[in-house]
Amino acid sequence: MNKLSLSRSELQELIGRYYSEVRKLSYQLQKTQKTIQELQVELNQKPAFDIPEIPSVSIANITKGKVINQQTDIAPKAEAVSEEPTNKRRGRPSKNIDSSGKRKSILNTNGKKRGYKLSETDNFVMGQLNDFQKPLIAAEIIYLAEEDAKAKGEQFDLDDFKIKLNRSIHKLANRRGDILKLRYEGRGFSYALPEWTSKDGKLKKKFSR
């Protein structure tokens, strides 16, 4: 078998990639060491053991293991006070109850759940799907995020973005229904907009990769 050789330009490119990996690993090491130092400071501030809270007993004597209220011998018996039905709850009315007493729907008029405000990562994912008009896998979204950070001259934290991306996909797909998870052979899932699929859940041809 002939020995594989690389051209000068290929060797330079490979060396550049290794330097880039070294810088990334160095950055991750510094961040990990800083996190460890912060955790050690927090650990030193914690007590060696938790002291349980002891409830106080007011106006009482302890005799033969029983708590006897001092007021029982001098205070007259109180008249019976009518109590509210036990099934009636006190406190503020539920926010999901309208003026007619009916429970409000937690869904918007378009059928999606309300709440779960979109984060910067959520908007980035939705924006890339709308721009490319085809399903994207997680690795592609990460690559696009890294390129976007370079274009803006910002530092890109790969591990931090992966965590944010997982949270974003869970919110957009499982909670809000803004995107769909489609099986992608060999790479788990790809992510698409709901309107890209037909009624039977299959991806329309014009949006296929």
* Token pair recorded at residue 163: 């965590």
Q: What is the pLDDT of residue 54?
A: 47
Cα distance between the two ends of the chain: 38
Average pLDDT over residues 177-192: 87
Span 100-116, average pLDDT: 49
Q: Work out the average pLDDT over 164-176.
A: 93
Tell me what pLDDT residue 120 has: 94
Across residues 155-167, what is the average pLDDT?
95
pLDDT at position 83 is 46
Backbone torsions φ then ψ of 81, nearest 5 degrees:
-110, 130
Confidence of residue 20 (pLDDT cuts 50, 70, 90): confident
Which CATH topology does 120-207 take? Answer: Arc Repressor Mutant, subunit A (1.10.10)
CA–CA separation, 60 vs 41, rounded Å?
43
Binned at pLDDT 50, 70 and 90, residue 208 comes out as confident
- Give the per-residue SS3 of the chain: CCCCCCCHHHHHHHHHHHHHHHHHHHHHHHHHHHHHHHHHHHHHHCCCCCCCCCCCCCCEEEECCEEEEHHHCCCCCCCCCCCCCCCCCCCCCCCCECCCCCECCCECCCCCECCCCCCHHHHHHHHHHHHHCCCEEHHHHHHHHHHHHHHHCCCCCHHHHHHHHHHHHHHHHHHHCCCEEEEECCCEEEEECHHHECCCCCECHHHCC
pLDDT the model gives residue 73:
44
pLDDT at 70 over 70: no
Cβ neighbours of residue 133 closer than 8 Å, sequence gap 6 or more? 207
Q: If you average pLDDT over residues 53-59, what whole number do you get?
A: 48
Q: Backbone phi, then psi, for 82, in 5-degree steps?
A: -65, 135
- Decide if pLDDT at 84 tops 50: no
Average pLDDT over residues 144-166: 94
Asked whether the predicted pLDDT for residue 104 surpasses 90, the reply is: no
The three-state secondary structure class of 97 is: strand
What pLDDT is stored for residue 200 in this prediction? 86
Residue 23, pLDDT > 70, answer yes
Percent of the chain with pLDDT over 70: 64
| Better pLDDT: 74 or 190 | 190
What is the pLDDT averaged over residues 173-188? 87
- Specify the pTM: 0.46
Domain edges within the chain: 120-207
Q: pLDDT averaged over the chain?
A: 75
